[in-house]
Structure 1
Amino acid sequence: MRNLLTVCLGNHCRSPFAEIALTRRGGTTVAVRSAGLIGKWQDQPANPSMINAARRLGFDLTPHRGQQITLDMLHWADDVLAMDASVLEALQAICGEGNAHKLGLYLRDRDVPDPMGQGDDAFNNCATLIESGTALHTGSRRP
């Protein structure tokens, strides 16, 4: 089993949805957690627009409660999947060289755009993009 940690800015939209999408796609081959760089939404539900976008794709995001990233989470993870380059850069500063080999972008070569402050279409597109990216992390091990 591989331990995957998805990380975005606030653990309010992108990383919570990635957590449930990867969990469904990976089944018993992965354990998935999510976290945010900031604690603004600590213990809060996911963004209502992301909950709706998830529901449209057949996922229930209502149980989610936000978490801020901890060093224990970073040590637990085999792979730490940043939703965008700015999150990846912050993680590199937090992790240090010992965990740097675990870090990468969720979509490997591009960002998952942050839908915060945008309309439902942005959340729907974000959720669809995240779901399509699950195949990158639930099959064979990353090179």
Structure 2
Amino acid sequence: MLEKILVVCIGNICRSPTAENLLRDALVHSKAQVNSAGIAALVDSPIEPTARLVLEEQGHIPRDHKAVQLTRQSIIESDLILVMEKRHLNVVLDIAPEARGKIFLLGKWQDDREIGDPYRQGKPAFVHAYTLIKEAVHAWALRLER
């Protein structure tokens, strides 16, 4: 079992904290530590209110969240890094090239599906992103629990 999983998006206030919450819930019986970070994080910002609302409406209790900046150290310390878009893969590799092999799209098991940023697009975009994140997290959880 992987011990440290890092979920990455841009601002670390919408997609990655949503995935972090869902993945933590899905892996509740494992020893995996799940965190998130942003490539251009809105440092110390809470989860975006609509993202929080969608999580709550789906029966989740979001943990307190403060956005954090992705760092070389957080990349190196992670066993698995899950990103939302293909361009995020390159950004992570630019920061820490030696991380190749442990960085994947969150949507890897859905034909490398990318999950677009719902930021400032209204609730339907957040619901759509949540649905894609939930499917991807479920697929990862099945593989990680083996």
Deviation string 1:44-79 (CA, Å, 9 cap, x unpaired) is 101111011111111223611100011221122111
Structure 1 residue ranges without an equivalent (≥5): none
- Asked whether the 8 Å contact 2:21–2:63 carries over to 1, the reply is no
Matches within 5 A, 1:58-137: 58-61=59-62, 63-96=64-97, 98-108=98-108, 109-137=112-140
- Asked whether the 8 Å contact 1:51–1:62 carries over to 2, the reply is no
Compute the TM-score of the two structures, normalised by the length of structure 1. Answer: 0.90
- Asked whether the 8 Å contact 2:6–2:80 carries over to 1, the reply is yes
- Misfit runs of 4+, over 3 Å: none
Secondary structure of 1:34's aligned partner: strand
Residue-pair matches, total: 139
Compute the TM-score of the two structures, normalised by the length of structure 2. Answer: 0.89
- Asked whether the 8 Å contact 2:45–2:67 carries over to 1, the reply is yes
More deviation in 55-64 or 124-133?
55-64
**Distance of 1:78 and 1:107 partners within structure 2:** 18
Structure 2 residue ranges without an equivalent (≥5): none
RMSD: 1.4
Pair 70,28 (structure 1): closer, same or farther in 2 beyond 3 Å: farther
